[in-house]
Amino acid sequence: MEDQKFHMPLLGDEFPEMTVQTTHGEMTLPKDFKGQWWVLFSHPADFTPVCTTEFVGFQNRMEEFKALDTALVGMSVDQIFSHIKWVQWIKEALDIDIEFPVIAANDSIANKLGMLHPGKGTNTVRAVFIMDPKGNVRLIMYYPQEIGRNMDEIVRAVKALQVSETQGAVPASWPHNELIGDRIIVSPAKDMKTAAARLKDESLECYDWWFCHKPLKK
């Protein structure tokens, strides 16, 4: 049997066009989210403990995602009736309404997004794709089935990407970096003249000409 090829969109690529069936009806990606940020995350299987905690975690942060004008979309290779029943179970057993759509993917779609890893069985791994308003892939994360994701990190990543669009690069653990807090890193100088001017720029704070930072614009 010929091995399945592993495919995935790369950072900066446009998200591949596809029509999918979801718990909210048929959707066309990335068209249906044009003009806003959106997060697509895959889970290994419905009615599993770790995935249930993740769905609850995402739902509990819906207001944070909405404040960032960011949509959430779940996905696995389970059939649509399984998704519907699981969402109903979460409501009945945990009293939590899952507001985001959940895609019933087939193996073709999952392979197209690199969500089926041969060494990790036949279920989708825990993938996260963050797309910008143009439908371009801006961040990708992969977790194995046995480790649940940190939803606060995904919220942070969306915030950081949006800030970097207009203000510059953000440091490690932003907005709580050990060196510069929530400040923004200025792009390193590319010539001698700019390097010398950096240290005289009163609007910046610098450790050296190649490591300068500025206040975050609220």
- Residues serving a catalytic function are 51
- Residue 182 has which token pair? 């929530």
Residue spans of beta strands (DSSP E) within 125-215:
126-131, 137-143, 184-185, 205-208, 211-214
Burial class (CB in 10 A: 0-12, 13-18, 19+), 63: exposed
The two tokens of residue 67 are 């404040």
**What is the C-alpha separation between 181 and 174, in angstroms, rounded?**
7
Residues in the chain, total: 218
Q: What is the Cα–Cα distance from 159 to 174, expressed in whole angstroms?
A: 10
| Cβ-contact 189, 178 below 8 angstroms | no
**Burial (0-12, 13-18, 19+ Cβ within 10 Å), 193:** exposed
Give the span between the Cα atoms of 128 and 105, in whole angstroms. 15
Structure tokens at 48: 């599993």
